[in-house]
C-alpha cells in the first residue's frame, strides 16, 4: 500500500528536509557518520516505528535549513496492513511518534506510482516580513524583521516583472546544481497583512536553489527604494546573480501549498 502524507513543520531546529550526514565518508572511515536532524529522517523514523519495517520516504520539496512548511507532500510504501482503514488511524499513530515541531496533517491511500516530485504541477511559497521598529517576539521564528517600513505597492509592481517563463539565473544561488535555470512563475504578489507584516507569495512550476529568498531580497530592496521596476527588469535580463538583491534568511520562508493532477488535487492552502 502506498500512502500520501501532508506534513507541516517549524523548520527552526531542522537542517532542512533532506536527510543529511555530518562530513564525508573520509572523515569517519571506521565509524558510522553522525546524522543531522532533518524532517525526512525524523518522519521516516516515526513511520518505521509504526509499520515495523524499513520504508523510503520521498518528499516533494527539499526545503533548506530553517525553512518552514504547511503542506510538504511525501509518500511511502508499506506491506503492513495491521492498521487498515481508516487512514486517520495511521496518521494518529505516526503523529504519536513525532516531536512537537512536525506533524502529519493528512494521510491517504494513493496510487502505486504516485511520485510527489514528478507529479507536482505547481507549488506556492510565502516569505513573511515583519517591518518597523517593534521587534517581533512570538513570531520571531516565522518572520524576517526589517527595521524600517517598506513600500509594498512598489514591491508588488516590481514583482509582476517576474511572472511568466524566464531564465532566472540572476535569482539563483551560484551552486544551484541545475542544467537549466528557466522556470515559470505563475503569480508573485506582495500584500500588507497588518501594521507590521508583509507577505510575498510566489507560485510556479519549480524553483531554483534560494530562488524565492533572492526574489524576496530583491523586492525588499525595491521597498526600501534602493531598486525599482527597471532594476528588476535589468537584473532578470542580465542572468547575473550580482545584479539581483540579497538572499534573505530562511526564517521567513514557508512552503504553503502544492498542486497535483486529479485525483490527488490541491494540498495546503492558497493565500
Contact 96, 30 (CB under 8 A): no
Q: Which three cell numbers stand for residue 70?
A: 504547511
Q: 202-236: buried (b, 16+ CB within 10 Å) or exposed (e) per residue?
A: bbbebbbbbbbbbbbbbbbbbbbeebeeebbeebb
106 vs 91: CA distance, rounded Å: 7
E strands of the chain, at which residues? 2-9, 58-59, 68-77, 102-110, 122-131, 144-146, 164-167, 182-192, 197-204, 253-259, 266-268
Rounded to the nearest angstrom, the gap between the alpha carbon of residue 105 and the centroid of all alpha carbons in its chain is 16
Angle at 173 between CA 170 and CA 178, to 5 degrees: 90
In sign, the C-alpha dihedral spanning 123, 225, 66, 167 is positive
Residue 50: name the closest of 31, 78, 74 by CA.
78
Q: Which of 10, 64, 194, 240 is catalytic?
A: 64
Q: Which three cell numbers stand for residue 164?
A: 511568466
Catalytic status, residue 64: yes
Cβ-proximal residues to 71 (8 Å cutoff; 6+ apart), any chain:
6, 7, 8, 105, 255, 256, 257, 258, 267, 268, 269
Active site residues: 64
Amino acid at each position: 500500500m502506498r500512502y500520501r502524507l501532508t506534513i507541516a513543520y517549524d523548520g527552526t531546529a531542522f537542517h532542512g528536509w533532506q536527510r543529511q550526514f555530518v562530513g564525508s565518508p573520509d572523515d569517519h572511515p571506521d565509524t558510522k557518520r553522525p546524522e543531522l536532524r532533518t524532517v525526512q529522517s525524523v518522519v521516516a523514523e516515526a513511520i518505521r516505528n509504526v509499520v515495523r519495517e524499513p520504508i523510503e520516504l520521498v518528499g516533494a520539496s527539499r526545503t533548506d535549513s530553517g525553512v518552514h512548511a504547511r503542506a510538504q507532500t511525501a509518500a511511502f510504501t508499506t506491506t503492513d496492513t495491521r492498521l487498515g482503514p481508516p487512514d486517520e488511524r495511521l496518521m494518529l499513530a505516526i503523529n504519536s511518534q513525532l516531536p512537537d515541531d512536525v506533524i502529519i496533517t493528512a494521510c491517504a491511500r494513493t496510487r502505486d506510482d504516485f511520485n510527489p516530485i514528478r507529479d507536482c504541477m505547481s507549488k506556492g511559497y510565502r516569505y513573511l516580513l515583519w517591518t518597523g521598529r517593534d521587534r517581533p517576539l512570538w513570531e520571531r521564528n516565522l518572520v524576517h524583521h526589517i527595521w524600517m517600513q517598506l513600500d509594498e505597492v512598489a514591491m508588488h509592481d516590481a514583482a509582476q516583472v517576474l511572472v511568466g517563463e524566464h531564465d532566472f539565473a540572476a535569482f539563483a544561488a551560484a551552486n544551484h546544481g541545475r542544467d537549466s535555470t528557466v522556470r515559470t512563475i505563475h503569480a508573485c504578489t506582495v500584500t500588507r497583512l497588518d501594521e507590521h507584516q508583509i507577505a510575498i507569495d510566489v507560485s510556479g512550476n519549480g524553483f531554483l536553489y534560494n530562488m524565492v529568498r533572492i526574489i524576496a531580497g530583491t523586492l525588499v530592496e525595491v521597498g526600501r527604494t534602493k531598486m525599482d521596476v527597471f532594476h528588476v527588469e535589468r537584473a532578470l535580463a542580465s542572468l547575473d546573480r550580482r545584479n539581483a538583491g540579497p538572499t534573505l534568511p530562511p526564517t521567513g520562508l514557508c512552503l504553503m501549498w502544492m498542486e497535483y493532477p486529479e485525483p490527488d488535487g490541491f494540498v495546503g492552502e492558497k493565500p
